[in-house]
Structure 1
Amino acid sequence: MLTGDKSFGIEAARTKRVLIIGAGAVGCALAATLLRHNVHVTLVARGATLAALRANGLRLRDEFGVYRLYPELVETLPDARADLLILALKAQQLPPLAAILAQRQELVVPVVNGIPFWFTSRGMAARELSPQDRLRHAISAHRLAGCGAYLMARLEAPGQVYCPRPPRLQLAALTQQGRAPLRCCADFLRAGGVEVDITADPSEMMWSKLLANAATNPLSVISHTTLRQISQDAGLYDCARSIAQEMVALGRAAGLSLPKEPAACLQAIMHAGDHITSMRQDFEAGRLLELEAICHAPLEMATRLGVAMPVFRTIVSLVHHAAETRSHGQSAAMPQMQLGA
């Protein structure tokens, strides 16, 4: 377990153990990056993905080449304690893990989109903000790290991930007690090839990532575009900017210290390249979309706080219609991770 009593170099990182729950694009990209730097990774996977990984290993393609790597593979959560536990799942897959995670002792990094289960804001209870309330009570705040993930990753097939650039994580401690373990976590991940920034305010960090997701993910679904196409099309870019401005207004109403203009977010979108957003990837694969955490929770906040979000509401309504009428996966339920023995 990371305790904060020392920093980690490359050699020390090789003695640490990372447990990653979820073998989608994010989980596979993080696992592959750490494995390439000789960090021991246990990857929890299921179904066709687990079968593919057992048969062929984990395949990473980046801007330099193709690599085949071999994590320890399990279908259920092992009893052995790791040094770091990464949740690389969709927000709607997390609630069934509450009882299991309550029994663990590792530092937990939830790499999820949207409003996370640990977030609270002015005038609203956490239960009203998030359907994952059980998780907030299951995991002590000092064992949690707020995380904003910036990964241009996509699955090319089960167990095969394309990630042209190293994964980048923004991390923030949720309590004073959690700061030292977080610093060790950051050093450890950096030695494992992951780019890490530590920020002081977890809520503002989260909101910046939420703003980027809200401004681009739903829009990319209905326009069938990449981030580069959104940035280069005047109409789409104006729409993304309007949504970003609405998200800034909502965040400020919730008590967050945010700039009035989301210039940094929009600049990042312009330099993201031909990345297909995770929501568009899910839509085209017939999977359940992350509408609750990315769209519904902010819109509920807006209603309660009296913030108008006309552009975002319209785009979300169009995504709902598209999801309901697509030819496959209309009512597919997100498979739940059952990790107990």
Structure 2
Amino acid sequence: MRIAVIGAGALGGTFATLLTRAGHEVTVTARGAGLAAIRADGIRLRGGFGEAHARPAVLERLVERPELTLVCTKAQDAEAAIGENAVMINGSPVIVVQNGLDGVQTAKRLLPHSECFGALSIIAANYTEPGQVTVTTAAPTYLGRGDGPIDQETRRWQRVLNEAVPTRAIENFIGAQWTKLIVNMLNALPAITGLSVQQVIAHPGLRRVMTASMREAVRVGAGRNVRFGALQSLSNRSLRVFARLPLWAGQILPLRMRRRMGAVPNRGSTLQSITRGQRTEIDFLNGAIVREATAAGLPAPINTLLTALVHEVERSGAFLTPAAVLTRADVLLHAE
């Protein structure tokens, strides 16, 4: 099958390599150093899915119509990337593999003749350098669309992706996007401090802030009448119980997440963007919680602070110490 992968970073590189290994004819889009590296030596994948070396076709933008397209850019780059390739992909199925809440809707708006699906990937991967990806946590990808039951087209594309990477079709995809957004609350503090996710969770003070951001996110989702989807042992019921727990008890959630990560440092996608000097997708993660809170008439002070601190690090290029973060956050935590 002719499959296009738009974006050749950590997830795009992982999907492109594994789909090539499964026998598909893959084309990726890339720019700059990534384009040059893939043209010269393909993509080398290491870690949780084993070692693989793929040489997909690589272009700045697509020139032929694929049978399936995966959009694997960062959330903030999706609109431009889809728009640049719309002539070729409008009318063929598209799967948006992305964090945040907006990706599928953006694709549907720009590609009115395409069937658009969403994929939530729990894979943790480090884009160590152009053309080089290391998978630190091999995990399933969840595929779906809308807030209803699984349809036949979703099952069809699940079978295609599952040939390359473990993929599950899920109902209530919109609710699952919210659940993944809660999981993505892991990203901000590593980007602010330069620490791995495991190190942040091991730090008692930072763990309290992370727990508070997750709890606040669940409360905002509930205020927006979201029915959270089942994902990574989380469910609508368990998240609503978590939102009612005192802060000390709620820390069990990030601690459980840490146990599933293993020992290999998980740097998180937002920290990886910081270290590469790129704009992060924080406005589509913690920033999305702030926007949804505003729409619901609810406060979101912790996520407002974390969004601002990530932008501060983006501008300055200097990480903050845990003590500096806690000085800013403690007043908000004590106000609860």
- Whether TM-score is above 0.5 comes out as yes
SS at match of 2:58: strand
* 8 Å Cα contact 1:52-1:159 kept in structure 2: yes
Higher RCO by CA contacts (8 Å cutoff, separation 6 or greater): 1
Show the counterpart of 2:272.
Answer: 281
Query: 1:110/1:158 Cα in 2 relative to 1: closer, same or farther (>3 Å)?
Result: same
Structure 2 CA distance for partners of 1:36 and 1:136, relative to 1, 3 Å = closer
The one-character-per-residue Cα deviations of 1:273-314 (angstroms, maximum 9, x if unpaired) are 321100001111111111221132321221231222222222
The separation in 1 between residues aligned to 2:140 and 2:60, in whole angstroms, is: 27
Matched, 1:189 2:190: no
Following superposition, the deviation at residue 105 of structure 1 comes to 2.1
| TM-score normalised by L of structure 2 | 0.80
Match of 2:45 in 1: 60
Residue 33 of structure 1 pairs with residue 18 of structure 2: yes
Q: Is 2:192 the partner of 1:208?
A: no
Cα 1:265–1:85 change in 2 (3 A) is farther
How far apart, CA to CA, are the structure 2 residues paired with 1:69 and 1:198?
A: 26
Residue 93 of structure 1 pairs with residue 77 of structure 2: yes
Contact 2:48-2:138 at 8 Å conserved across structures: no
The equivalent residue for 1:169 is 141
Question: In 2, are the aligned partners of 1:18 and 1:84 still within 8 Å (CA)?
Answer: yes
After superposition, the Cα gap between the structure-2 partners of 1:174 and 1:140, relative to the gap in structure 1 and judged at 3 Å, is farther
TM-score (norm 1): 0.79
Deviation at 1:140, TM superposition (A): 4.1
How far the C-alpha of 1:137 sits from its partner, in A, is: 2.1
Aligned residues of 1:110 and 1:145 also touching (Cα < 8 A):
yes
Amino acid at match of 1:70: R
Conserved? CA contact 1:245–1:261, under 8 Å: no
**Shift in Å at residue 99 of structure 1?**
6.9
Q: Does 1:49 align with 2:21?
A: no
Shift of 1:204: 0.9
**Alignment-mate amino acid for residue 219 of structure 2:** A
Q: Deviations over 1:142-189 (max 9, x none)?
A: 711122111211112111111144452111123879821210110111
C-alpha separation in 2, matches of 1:321 and 1:173: 35
Q: Give, in whole Å, the separation in 1 of the partners of 2:94 and 2:48.
A: 30
Q: Match for 1:268 among 222, 234, 257? A: 257
Aligned partners of 2:190, 2:161: CA distance in 1, in Å?
Answer: 31
Q: Which residue of 2 aligns with 1:230?
A: 200
Does 2:277 correspond to 1:291? Answer: no
CA offset at residue 60 of structure 1? Answer: 1.0
Q: Secondary structure at the match of 1:54?
A: helix
Tell me, which stretches of 5 or more residues in structure 2 are unaligned? 228-235, 243-249, 319-336
Distance 1:292 1:210, change over 3 A: same
Distance of 2:7 and 2:241 partners within structure 1: 35
- Per the alignment, residue 307 of structure 2 pairs with 316
Helix, strand or coil: the match of 1:60?
A: strand
Contact 1:59 1:68 in 2 (8 A): yes
Which of 207, 210, 220 lines up with 2:190 in the alignment? 220
Q: Distance in 1 between matches of 2:115 and 2:50?
A: 36
Aligned letter for 1:236?
A: L
Distance change (3 Å), C-alpha of 1:227 and 1:94:
same
